Amino acid sequence: MNAGQKLPRIVMIGAGNVASSLAPAIEQAGAGKIVQVYSRTPDHARDLAARLEDAAAISRPEDIDTGADICLVSVADDAVAKIVAAVKPGNALWLHTSGSVPMSVLAPASPRHGVFYPLQTFSRDVAVDLSTVSLFTEGSDPLTEAEIGDLARKVFSNVFHADSATRRVMHVAAVFACNFVNYMWVVAHDLLQRENLPMDVLFPLLTETLRKAVTASPDMGQTGPAVRGDSAVMNRHLDMLDGDNREIYRLVSEAIMNRFNVSHEPDRL
């Protein structure tokens, strides 16, 4: 930024997991000045605003300063349109951080709109180094796309264009790679606790599984009784499980056997 050039004034709409990482990172990178933090939960808005240089906490959509340079929306997917409907249209650059919402939802707020989607899992109280995160952008026109890219590259090292269709595919892939995998760890943790074992005993296994997936390929790294077609082991495991865990084990095992053409009888392990 040239000497004397003012930082863009940014309204952070949302104070959840993504916003709590994104807003401080924008200020720390010198990419903008957060002037407002909106959340329908006042305490959340105040907590995030307190971590910023000079941001006002607000909890009513009608108080959003649409005269700011950028309005960055990071709320639940089904709340984006509600926010847009509640504000006065203007010429600010409106962005949302969702992987599954089209940018067109922002059009009623401003002709200048787009997407600012970081492909990462976020938790409110866990710091994330955004310089290592891939960010995907889309703009309503080439000039807007370029403006979004300029902002993005001040915070993120890996910036790519992705339209709505591509982002939807990435979002589904991320659910499989992150959310579903984490739930499997939840189940594993519960099983270990039955025997008073810490989750730490699985850490080397988790690390090696991820290393092989990244350095080789997930297909090449697949191991276990399902890919071997070891029905005896799988049936013993099923006898140890009940409810959802039993059904998940059966479905995933059958999916693995189908993927790798392992001979088995449908619905029987």
Instruction: Please report which confidence band the pLDDT of residue 186 belongs to, taking 50, 70 and 90 as the band edges.
Output: very high
Evaluate whether 9-162 and 168-259 have a shared fold.
no
Give the model's pLDDT for residue 131: 87
pLDDT the model gives residue 125: 81
**Per-residue pLDDT at 191 exceeds 80:** yes
Helices (H), 156-268: 164-174, 181-194, 203-215, 218-221, 225-228, 231-240, 243-259
- pLDDT higher than threshold 90 for residue 124: no
Round to whole Å and give the CA distance between 70 and 76: 19
pLDDT of residue 3: 53
Could you tell me the CATH superfamily of domain 9-162?
Answer: NAD(P)-binding Rossmann-like Domain (3.40.50.720)
pLDDT class for 127, splitting at 50, 70, 90? confident
Q: pLDDT of 1-17, one tens digit each?
A: 555 579 999 999 999 99
Mean pLDDT, rounded, of the chain: 95
| For helices 42-49 and 17-28, angle between their N-to-C axes, nearest 10 degrees | 20
Dist CA 66 CA 88 (whole Å): 7
Residue 263 dihedral angles phi and psi, to the nearest 5°: -65, 130
Coil vs helix vs strand at 160: strand
List all residues 6 or more positions away from 107 whose beta carbon is below 8 Å from its beta carbon.
Answer: 113, 140
* Domain residue ranges in the chain: 9-162, 168-259
Report which secondary-structure segment, H or E, holds 81: helix 80-86
Per CATH, the number for 168-259 is: 1.10.1040.20
**What's the whole-model pTM score?**
0.86
